[in-house]
Structure 1
């Protein structure tokens, strides 16, 4: 075991049990797939007992749900703060677009795992996630619509189509983005946000 691995193991052991379980589940689901990972393997990797896991998570699909749910909740909290700023709408849309890219890149494994395995969740959990994603998209769409009403953004394309176009690109980040490459998450966020806002400007 290298020194870096020992430091990582110590760092994990000092974290709260739910976080240890989520970190272990994320790594194992990414390596072996959701179906190929057992509860026993998760608790062993986290260094806890099954009883400890079931104290916080009722089942393996609760772990899967929380892996993505915590990212989505964080992104929604960021978006609500950005949308409520006392700033021009174009500035808020640019900030929101950059934020969702940066946070998606920072949590790429969580997002990839979830979309690859969402069909494994119960219907109730799938509906809950879709409702929260819909809420996020509606807040983003409302900012775009505000910009259209104010004449800041072009209005020949519906705000719904703008949102679907932009988030279609966001959801494909994992197919081409590689951490450690030429672009950081902040670089990609800035470029995506600039492209979105530039495309929304009314034609001269």
Structure 2
């Protein structure tokens, strides 16, 4: 049975992303040329431009595929049944685990995002903003239910938490003493402990 065109072409797209990720990590985004990417992937420039309009688009997609996956998972946690504290804890653990599992992609992006075109940079910020707002909504839900303290703006809670998550690339190593799930649980425990209302024992 003949494979569909999409099935045949998809490995080309994946090779381009894999080689771009490797080269950006080794040489930096600015120092890597389109020609080097297509040569490493074993394709033509025409094949690359079939999938990606520019080197910016490659960098955007390296991070975008991680962010889309995290957004899908966050939505499942947010929409699930169960106490809000459990859902927020699960969501917080998961974002750390998925960041650690895709640490190279995240490190490359955050190191190079300032070199994106203004329009692409604006789009990326909007995508990240939607993710952070979905996470923030969980905090607000808990605050309105009286489960979380409400004297700290939910926006600040999210900024503080994700500041720590985005810092993972500077210190986490897979061969270190803690696994990704262990770090995720610690981060989530710290987040939930910080949200306990005054006078109430920590969970």
Correspondent of 1:83 among 78, 85, 108? 78
Q: Tell me the distance in 2 between the aligned counterparts of 1:86 and 1:22.
A: 37
**Structure 1 unaligned spans of 5+:** 1-13
TM-score, length basis structure 2: 0.90
Runs of 4+ residues over 3 Å off in structure 1 = none
Which residue number corresponds to residue 152 of structure 1?
147
Q: Deviation of residue 113 (structure 1)?
A: 1.0
Q: Deviation of residue 15 (structure 1)?
A: 7.0
Which residue number corresponds to residue 191 of structure 2?
196
Q: Tell me the distance in 2 between the aligned counterparts of 1:180 and 1:55.
A: 38
Q: Tell me the distance in 1 between the aligned counterparts of 2:120 and 2:101.
A: 24
Q: Tell me the distance in 2 between the aligned counterparts of 1:190 and 1:109.
A: 21
Deviations 1:28-73 (A, max 9, x none): 1011000111111111221222221111111111101111111111
TM-score, length basis structure 1: 0.90
Q: Deviation of residue 203 (structure 1)?
A: 2.3
Q: Tell me the distance in 1 between the aligned counterparts of 2:36 and 2:175.
A: 29
Correspondent of 2:115 among 120, 126, 131? 120
Which residue number corresponds to residue 103 of structure 1?
98
Root-mean-square deviation (Å) = 1.3
Correspondent of 1:71 among 41, 66, 82? 66
**Residues 15 and 183 of structure 1: is their aligned pair in 2 closer, same or farther, counting only changes over 3 Å?**
farther
